[in-house]
């Protein structure tokens, strides 16, 4: 297994758990963590034994955003200066927001504490978000002189609508876990000690289903965000044909006839 910097990676019962691991800095994003996060997501997506990915944070925070202390010290992300960044050739294909968005495996974010800036964008990029009552979502970008640079400008209006997204983003609002639930940004809010059990229970429920079908469903939902209904129906049909020929489809039908739980293999 690769040596991931500033994060932990574990696989158990078809569930890959990626834990941001700089608890002394509230898991603020470092350059090495960015590279490790992309690699861990790719590794989990390509591993046939993985059916669901969980992202969470170590300690009392989920992710405090980009490490501003490193930035001020001249060692962090973006510390080369605006001119150099403006003239750089941006190759974002392997950046965490793009990798997360194109990951076929379902991704659940277990928000264990404050998720600010980049941390909020990272959480929004997951398919499902479960929050501890201690969690907060902080859209602090405009308070720092920047914009939601890691997917949030695209994701937030699609998740909760333009007007509410505009209010949160323009005003730089910080939402409590309950406010995030009411806004539709998280699916569940639970007590801190129930965050990982609740997350793993949902992950296990998803992992028990036919993984090829789950992944195809996610791909078609993702495409559906940008294409017409007619185009999506055609694409869904093309995805359906190989599933009809899969061992999992035969197992699903046989299990239904025999009134038992199916045992899917991802084949």
* Residue with token string 């007619």: 230
pLDDT value at residue 68 = 63
193 falls in which pLDDT band (50, 70, 90)?
very high
- What average pLDDT does the segment 243-265 reach? 93
Residue 84 has pLDDT above 90, yes or no: no
Taking the model in full, what pTM does it have?
0.90
pLDDT value at residue 73 = 54
Q: Are 121 and 150 in contact (CB under 8 A)?
A: yes
87 falls in which pLDDT band (50, 70, 90)?
very low
10 Å CB burial of residue 140 (0-12, 13-18, 19+) is middle
- What average pLDDT does the segment 214-220 reach? 95
Residue 212 has pLDDT above 90, yes or no: yes
pLDDT value at residue 77 = 53
What is the assigned CATH class of domain 7-207? Answer: alpha beta
pLDDT value at residue 66 = 84
What is the assigned CATH class of domain 211-257? Answer: mainly alpha
67 falls in which pLDDT band (50, 70, 90)?
confident
Task: Give Cα separations from 194 to 21, 85, 131 (angstroms).
Answer: 20, 42, 10
- What average pLDDT does the segment 162-169 reach? 96
First and final C-alpha spacing in the chain: 24
More confident residue, 89 or 232: 232
pLDDT value at residue 91 = 67
* Angstrom distance (rounded) from CA 253 to CA 265: 14
Q: Are 133 and 180 in contact (CB under 8 A)?
A: no
10 Å CB burial of residue 98 (0-12, 13-18, 19+) is middle
pLDDT value at residue 92 = 79
Q: What are the strands, taking DSSP E only, across the chain?
A: 7-12, 15-20, 52-57, 107-111, 114-116, 128-132, 136-138, 174-176, 188-190
- What average pLDDT does the segment 177-199 reach? 97
Domain residue spans in the chain? 7-207, 211-257
- What average pLDDT does the segment 122-134 reach? 97
Residue 74 has pLDDT above 60, yes or no: no
26 falls in which pLDDT band (50, 70, 90)?
very high
pLDDT value at residue 69 = 65
pLDDT in tens, 89-119: 456 778 899 999 999 999 999 999 999 999 9
């Amino acid at each position: 297994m690769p040596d991931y910097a500033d994060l932990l990676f574990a696989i158990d019962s078809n569930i890959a758990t990626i834990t941001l691991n700089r608890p002394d800095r509230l898991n603020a994003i470092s350059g090495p963590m960015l590279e490790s996060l992309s690699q861990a997501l790719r590794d989990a997506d390509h591993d046939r034994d993985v059916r669901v990915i969980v992202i969470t944070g170590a300690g009392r925070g989920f992710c405090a955003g980009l490490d501003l202390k490193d930035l001020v010290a001249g060692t962090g992300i973006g510390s080369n200066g605006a001119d150099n960044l403006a003239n750089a050739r941006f190759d974002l294909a392997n950046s965490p927001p793009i990798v997360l968005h194109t990951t076929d495996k379902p991704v659940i974010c277990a928000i264990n504490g404050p998720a600010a800036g980049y941390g909020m964008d990272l959480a929004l990029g997951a398919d499902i978000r479960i929050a501890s009552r201690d969690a907060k979502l902080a859209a602090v970008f405009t308070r720092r002189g920047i914009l939601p640079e890691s997917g949030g400008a695209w994701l937030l209006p699609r998740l909760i609508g333009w007007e509410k997204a505009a209010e949160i983003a323009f005003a730089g609002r910080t939402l409590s876990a309950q406010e995030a639930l009411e806004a539709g940004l998280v699916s569940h809010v639970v007590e801190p000690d129930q965050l990982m059990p609740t997350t793993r229970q949902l992950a296990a429920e998803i992992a028990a289903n036919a993984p090829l079908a789950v992944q195809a469903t996610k791909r078609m939902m993702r495409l559906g965000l940008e294409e017409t209904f007619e185009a999506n129906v055609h694409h869904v049909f093309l995805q359906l044909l190989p599933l009809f020929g899969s061992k999992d489809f035969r197992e699903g039908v046989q299990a239904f006839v025999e009134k038992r739980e199916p045992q899917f293999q991802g084949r």
